[in-house]
Structure 1
Amino acid sequence: MTRDSQQPTADTSFLDLIRHGEPEGGPMFRGSQDDPLSETGWKQMRAAISDSDCWDAVLTSPLQRCRQFAEEVADTRNLPLFVEPDLREVSFGAWEGRTSQQILTEYGDQLSAFWDDPTAITPPEGEPIDAFYRRVTRAGALWQRRLAGQRILVVCHGGVIRMLLADVLHIPLSRSFAGFAVPYACRSLIRFDRSEHGLLRSLLRHGG
């Protein structure tokens, strides 16, 4: 997001969401499992931003695969860094640390049922999707108000981005996981305009 094309005012702010890159350990359900970025993940993240991007602050999930990159950006660009625990990924409970094939073998149709409608099934010992949605959207609203009028880089997770976009676009939670893709290092830009008529939220870009 450049200053020329996306200049905020006192009543306008931007959340520039970026999903973390590939973590160490390969594909699996991680959730709250705290793996760092792999070498490939670091390359993905660094390639996803450019010198023309301008932010006023960096906000991050506390998990390593987000926080370490956020710290690098904040340090390199001399920006304030904020860590928000409620922007951590959804907990997959007993599924964490397991591959899709391992979950299919042990839990059968539960995995496909989860992808079809995460409101209909919660992984054993996992976090219900409606509770996840509430904590993420509450955190997003809090920081949008706290850093109003600023450009905020938010380094977070695929599930977190899905919840924030579901809120902005009024996507039913039942379609929040299957409705759109959020690959590694994917960026999504949300604009907030506050006026006497209330708060207008708009998705300006997804996937760029």
Structure 2
Amino acid sequence: MTDEPPEPTTVVLVRHGVTEYTTGRRFSGGLGGHNPALSEEGRAQIGLVAEWLSPLRDRAAAVVTSPVRRTRESAELLGEAWGVPVVEEPSFAEMEFGAWEGLTFDEVGEQNRDELLAWFESVDARPGGTGESFRSVEERVLAGLDRLLTAYRGQTVVVVSHVTPIKTLVTHALEAPTASQFRLQLTPGSVTVLSFRDPDQPGPPATVRLLNALPPPQPAFLDHGGW
């Protein structure tokens, strides 16, 4: 009799709820930024996610969160609703935007058009002069993923994070170029689900099972945008 193959590791990715920066379409980075709190609308969004995903209370091993305030607050709402422990993982924090922090896309375009265009053309460009490139964010996010898959092998884990880290994980699962992140849209309070096979098992190493889904009845295209 052969051993049963290990179950895949299911990673349920939740983008935090909105803040005043999200609704204002302003760049909002990680701990090096202004670190705004969830708005009342943002807390309500996560409440809907908690209700929609309530079966996870009996399945999720943990709620893993970026240490940034808006994700930590979102994770605590989920953990409290489900009775699931909340664990911080710094590698899932948002990109740092340097001097762009708090500015809108239009403001950055007016003040630093060439710099903004360079950012869209190269995954190695650093926003705001001192910010993080997409490449550097990818490196730390994938290091965090390795730790996550080791700690929760064969289990279901919820990860509360941000636009850039979630897009990074999706493009990694698809084996797509880093620059393809520019073609993905993620709504605040949305849910994306990835499944990772054990490295010794046949088949694709990862699959995307759900992308940018919202609790009904809110349509997914009604997005506040922003970072």
Q: Is the 8 A contact 1:193 1:201 kept in 2?
A: yes
**CA–CA distance in structure 2, aligned partners of residues 36 and 10 of structure 1:** 39
What is the Cα deviation at residue 120 of structure 1? 5.2
Q: What pairs up with 1:76-155 in 2 under 5 angstroms?
A: 76-115=81-120, 117-119=121-123, 121-123=125-127, 124-155=129-160
SS of the residue 1:109 aligns to: helix
Q: After superposition, give the CA deviation of every residue in 1:83-127 in whole Å (9 maximum; x if it has no partner).
A: 011111011111111111211111013324423x34153211111
Looking at structure 1, the residues matched to 39 and 194 of structure 2 have their Cα atoms a distance apart, in angstroms, of 28
Whole-Å separation in 2 of the counterparts to 1:118 and 1:162: 16
Structure 1: runs of 5 or more not aligned = 1-8
**Conserved in 2, the CA contact under 8 Å of 1:15 and 1:189?**
yes
Alpha-carbon spacing, 1:197–1:188, altered in 2? closer, same or farther (3 Å)? same
Using structure 1 for the length normalisation, give the TM-score: 0.87
SS across alignment from 1:15: strand
Amino acid at match of 2:116: L
155 and 105 in structure 1: CA distance in 2 versus 1, 3 angstrom threshold: same
- How far did 1:24 drift? 2.4
**Does structure 1 retain, via aligned residues, the 8 Å contact 2:141–2:169?**
yes
State the number of aligned residues: 198
TM-score by length of 2: 0.80
The share of aligned pairs that are identical, in percent, is 26
Query: How much has 1:35 moved relative to structure 2?
Result: 0.8
Secondary structure of 1:126's counterpart equals coil
Gaps of 5+ in 2: 214-227
Correspondence 1:161 to 2:166? yes
Q: 1:98 to 1:51 in 2, by over 3 A?
A: closer
RMSD: 1.9
**In the alignment, is residue 175 of structure 1 matched against residue 180 of structure 2?**
yes
Deviating runs (4+, > 4 A) in structure 1?
A: none
Q: Amino acid of the residue matched to residue 121 of structure 1?
A: A
Moved more, 57-66 or 165-174: 165-174
For 1:51-90, list aligned pairs within 5 A. Answer: 52-54=54-56, 55-90=60-95
Q: For residues 103-155 of structure 1, what are the alpha-carbon distances to aligned partners after superposition, in whole Å with 9 as ceiling and x for unaligned?
A: 1111013324423x341532111112211101001101211210112211110
Shift of 1:51: 5.4
